[in-house]
């Protein structure tokens, strides 16, 4: 019965946001779920565009970030610039200290290079667990995912039900091209990570991210020592196909 209700609610929400501009769709979701809409930012260009709408139109959306403790200095810099320019309140979530201490003590600070299992465990402690805290009690999760990011995302619906976290997910710029994102950033003078100008496309933790070479896949710079089929950190897994 619950799955039927979720499907009906999903269809209703999809109908409500259809044909709206990105920021109008965000506003509509805040009306449907007052105080229960959150936006996760990694300070990528995509996320900076969404943060721009949230702050410009004063949308009732809580902005949060996952500070893994291994981010690039440039990422912290754009975080600070965003806060200063827009007066944005950005809630930071951190890894569980005991879990991180145990993992690093047993496996070493760079254990993620030694095996996929260690890397996924590191991601779980630094990202997945903090995300669970950030999403708890909320109804809608806004993301900066784009279809160009990976083959797994090209068929995503803009609004979907995430059964893993029991939350609706909305991807307002899912079908934007990379050039569209860059143009929007430039036209609106939005702060962005300077690593993007140095060949870094998808930017995560410093030890696990490199610049990509011409012709390489979008996510080639993430966990480059692993097989391409394993390049997910656990934040955007899809166990549910009820949306399709």
Span 201-244, pLDDT tens digits: 889 999 999 999 888 887 788 888 887 665 566 565 544 433 33
Q: Looking at the domain assignment, is residue 202 inside a domain?
A: yes
Domain boundaries, position 60: 2-230
Whether 193 and 200 have beta carbons less than 8 Å apart is answered as yes
Q: Looking at the domain assignment, is residue 73 inside a domain?
A: yes
Q: Looking at the domain assignment, is residue 102 inside a domain?
A: yes
**Predicted TM-score of the model (pTM):** 0.90
Whether 45 and 197 have beta carbons less than 8 Å apart is answered as no
pLDDT at 229: 60
Q: Are strands 62-66 and 90-93 parallel, antiparallel or unpaired?
A: parallel
Number of domains forming the structure of the chain:
1
Q: Looking at the domain assignment, is residue 239 inside a domain?
A: no
Question: Which bin fits 108, alpha (ψ -120 to 50), beta or left (φ > 0)?
Answer: left
Q: Looking at the domain assignment, is residue 132 inside a domain?
A: yes
Count CA atoms closer than 13 A to 173's CA, side-chain side. 24
Question: What's the CATH code of the domain at 53?
Answer: 3.40.50.620
Q: Looking at the domain assignment, is residue 241 inside a domain?
A: no
Is 208 an active-site residue?
no
Q: Looking at the domain assignment, is residue 243 inside a domain?
A: no
Whether 222 and 209 have beta carbons less than 8 Å apart is answered as yes
Question: Which bin fits 58, alpha (ψ -120 to 50), beta or left (φ > 0)?
Answer: left
pLDDT at 140: 98
- Residues in the chain with pLDDT values less than 70: 1-4, 150-152, 228-244
Catalytic residue (one of 122, 205, 208, 233): 233
Q: Looking at the domain assignment, is residue 242 inside a domain?
A: no
3-state SS assignment for residue 38: strand
């Amino acid at each position: 019965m619950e799955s039927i209700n979720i499907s009906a609610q999903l269809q209703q929400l999809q109908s409500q946001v259809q044909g709206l501009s990105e920021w109008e769709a965000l506003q509509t979701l805040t009306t449907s779920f007052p105080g229960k809409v959150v936006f996760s930012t990694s300070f990528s260009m995509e996320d900076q565009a969404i943060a721009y709408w949230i702050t410009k139109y004063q949308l009732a959306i809580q902005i949060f970030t996952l500070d893994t403790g291994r981010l690039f200095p440039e990422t912290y810099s754009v975080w600070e610039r965003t806060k200063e320019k827009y007066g944005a309140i950005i809630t930071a979530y951190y890894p569980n200290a005991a879990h991180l201490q145990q993992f690093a003590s047993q496996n070493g600070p760079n254990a993620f290079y030694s095996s996929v299992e260690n890397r996924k465990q590191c991601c779980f402690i630094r990202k997945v667990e903090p995300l669970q805290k950030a999403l708890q009690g909320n109804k809608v999760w806004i993301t900066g995912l784009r279809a160009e990011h990976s083959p797994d995302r090209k068929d995503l619906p803009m609004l979907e039900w995430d059964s893993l976290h029991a939350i609706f997910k909305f991807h307002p710029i899912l079908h934007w091209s990379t050039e569209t994102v860059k143009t929007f950033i430039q036209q609106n003078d939005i702060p962005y990570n300077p690593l993007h100008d140095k060949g870094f496309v998808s930017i995560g933790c410093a030890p696990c991210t490199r610049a990509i070479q011409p012709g390489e896949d979008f996510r080639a710079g993430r966990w480059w020592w692993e097989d391409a089929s394993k390049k997910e950190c656990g934040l955007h897994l899809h166990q549910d196909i009820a949306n399709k």
